[in-house]
């Protein structure tokens, strides 16, 4: 989700069909350049969510893992809203023991 998407979501605006088409085309190009099948991307998404969920509670419904292409470079982007931490650090345990 881009900053523009967040602003539109907050303001209650809908995306234009042109911007939706552009995002879909970018996704198709990113898939073609990386040569990743949709199944492999979905598996990566599930594994990333599982690993992150070990440490923090995330909002899976709002989370997204996607490929984004900009300036001929493709990146795997994970946008995962964190609800709270699940892991206590060793310094937290040391303070409570004192």
pLDDT (0 to 100) of residue 97: 52
pLDDT for residue 29: 65
- The model's pTM: 0.52
**What's the maximum distance between 2 C-alpha atoms anywhere in the chain?**
60
pLDDT tens-digit readout, 35-84 = 777 788 888 888 888 888 889 998 888 888 877 777 777 788 888 888 88
Give dist(CA 59, CA 47) in Å, integer: 15
């Amino acid at each position: 989700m881009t900053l523009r998407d967040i602003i539109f979501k907050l303001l209650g605006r809908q995306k234009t069909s042109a911007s939706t088409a552009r995002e879909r085309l970018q996704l198709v190009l990113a898939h073609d350049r990386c040569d990743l099948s949709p199944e492999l991307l979905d598996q990566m998404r599930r594994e990333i969510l599982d690993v992150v969920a070990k440490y923090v509670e995330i909002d899976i419904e709002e989370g997204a893992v996607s490929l984004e292409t900009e300036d001929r470079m493709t990146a795997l982007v994970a946008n995962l809203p964190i609800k709270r931490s699940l892991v206590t650090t060793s310094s937290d345990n040391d303070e409570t023991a004192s």
